[in-house]
Structure 1
Amino acid sequence: MIVLEFNLKGKAEQYRIIDDMIRTAKFVRNKTLRHWIDNQGIKLVDLYKQCAVMAKEFEWAGKLNSTARQASAERTIFAIQRFFANCKAKEPGKKGFPQFKKHTRSVEYKQSGWSLSTDKRCLTLKDGFAAGKFKLIGSRDLHFYAPDEIKRIRIVRRADGYYAQFCINVDRKEELVPTGKAIGLDVGLNHFYTDSDGETVSNPRYLRKSEKDLKRLQKRVSRRKKGSKNRKKALDKLGRKHLKVSRQRQDFAIKTALCAIKSNDFVAYEDLQVRNMVKNHKLAKSISDAAWSQFAQWLEYFGKVYGKTVIAVPPQYTSQNCSNCGSIVKKTLSTRTHICGCGTILDRDHNAARNILAKGLKQAGMGLNTVGHTGIHAGGQTDLYSLVATSTSKSTGRS
């Protein structure tokens, strides 16, 4: 699957209709969850049937395309399935009991309720809301894909406008000349990562650099009267600034992961439990700003696209063990140099990267994790739309 994203250009009235569609999708999602809570033991297929019941009971809900209502119900189904899966696996801590959504920013269609123009440059939403025709702004061309290959579309509202994401059922495979190189990556806060060759990539710290502007914009929001137009304008500016930081962080993760994959045939990285690490309130902001989980997800994705071996390595003792003799050299977080009795003197992260590479090669030799590691990280469950960016042919003009 790949995802192409386009900006939707329309009139103000059309955007207001999209907002109504999104609110309706949120209502359907929450209503199906309420039905599941009130009727414990019902089958998941009953939630689909509940969508038809809602369409008859609420006239405005019936305006939303039937497949869009089903897609909203599927969000509830996925949340329920994830909850039971965590219970069965006896995951520590909270199991993720499905919650009612207060804020929703998207509505999803399957293969009906919309159509593309002949030149595939315009999208028309044709359900009961009749949002009408929108121009698709982007650098990619949908002519390369047959209409039946487009399995779903998602209309997304962001701080800087409205977007359409097209989910296309094609396999992306790229061929590269083998480099014969293997590398281990140790992520950190001082440097974004240090590899097993001792090379480092600096940590861009996009949130830290924008913190002054974000605080200033947040103050403007706080000073405006609730419900006023000026407060809405201030909120829009604050939202656009947060969105810019998010896009910068994602763009950096994509380009860095792509460079690592193209330059090496074998990549081993730390399988960090970021959701546990951010419980340290002194480091939570810096860890979140580094986006290690996002970087790992893109490593795995590009590994599959380019046919490279990507392995997630448990991080235990990678910093404490000597990469030369294997002896344990205990260090605190403030100790940045690894000094071993065997005469090895290395930067702490360089030593860890070498250990990560050795562990990765050992796992590969044992046939473990040789196609990457996909799981739930700090950013939540990996899904199709979480990887919408340049590498999946993102078409908003950013790379």
Structure 2
Amino acid sequence: MRKILGLSTALLLVIIFVSYSLWTSKRHAGHYLSDLRIQVVLNDGKPGGRGNLLGIQPELFPADYSSPERLHRKLAAYLQQARDQGFINDKTIVVLPEHIGTWLFAVNEKSQFYQATTIEEAMNWLAVSNPMQFANAMLRAKGESRVDDAHIRMKASSMARDYQTVFGGLAKEFGVTLVAGSIVLPGPSVEDGQLQAGNGALYNCSVVFGRDGRPMGQPQRQLFPAWYLSSYIRAGKDAPLNVIDTPAGRLGTLIGSDSWYPRNYARLDEKGAELIAVPAFVAGNGAWSRPWRAEKLPDELHVEPGPLTEGEAWKRLTLAPTRSARAGISVFMRGQFWDQGSAGDSFASRSGQHIPEPPPGVTPKGMKPGHGARLINLWL
């Protein structure tokens, strides 16, 4: 009797294991609809043969990341509309928002993952659907929040590959220089023209792709990550600030809150940066108009006394005047990732002076204020 019970138990465990293995191997292939409209909210200056800074502020959702092809299709639709407006030429520099590449961990997951109501639920499905990869990543995770680290690390190699495929492909397809927002990867580097994920700590980094679709130099690491990410993303305080030669001029990239620090502009000045790209991200629906959390910032960031909103703080600190830079652009993400929204209105500056925006509340028909993709263009 014991032998029969033992065999029955073993058989049941085998059936459960096989069923679980089959379940984890099946991936999402559901119907896909996405809004491809984009609104031109700023077109400053006139074409003069010197190129332009073109900010694409997309509106993205988890389903847009279900495959690299779907993400490419949506971003290509935005760029095609920009081309139709006459905003793309061989000297155009396209700038995308911070973390647009980080969400590539969502590629090729199960339908339950995309249908989750909270980001915590989605991350649970991510781990359950990839048990071996997640367990291996947990063993190698670093920082205080090892689980958050593992969620990125477990898919880092495919994320790096998809990042180059999507954004390098867009740069080549449209013949532009493309600042590909940012992506969080362990020990990122470019080797033999290919972005690679290493085995070290996680860094938030940005890659610029040339008109041939290949990376231009090494990834730019973020020097001062947002405070709420510091438990698993390492600050690249000793990383160089890269300035690269583009058809439109010498370009420097400051990721997110790196654009608040005067010392970073001084460093870019020393390298003769003529153009500054700021891929940025603000978490939370409506956060742009909420009080700025200045208490978590170092004393070196001086602003005028009095309460500030998040948006006012970004505009006071970002794209500060420099000796060498003649123009800059700051581009934010829009969209909703489960219960985590995003906020921010992209803006541009010329010679350190912010360019006035059109009146608020002007949105395409059927689109709510604060929602929808936005396009800003600055002729050089």
TM > 0.5: no
TM superposition score normalised by structure 1: 0.25
> Which entry has the higher C-alpha Rg, 1 or 2?
1
Higher helix proportion (structure 1 or 2): 1
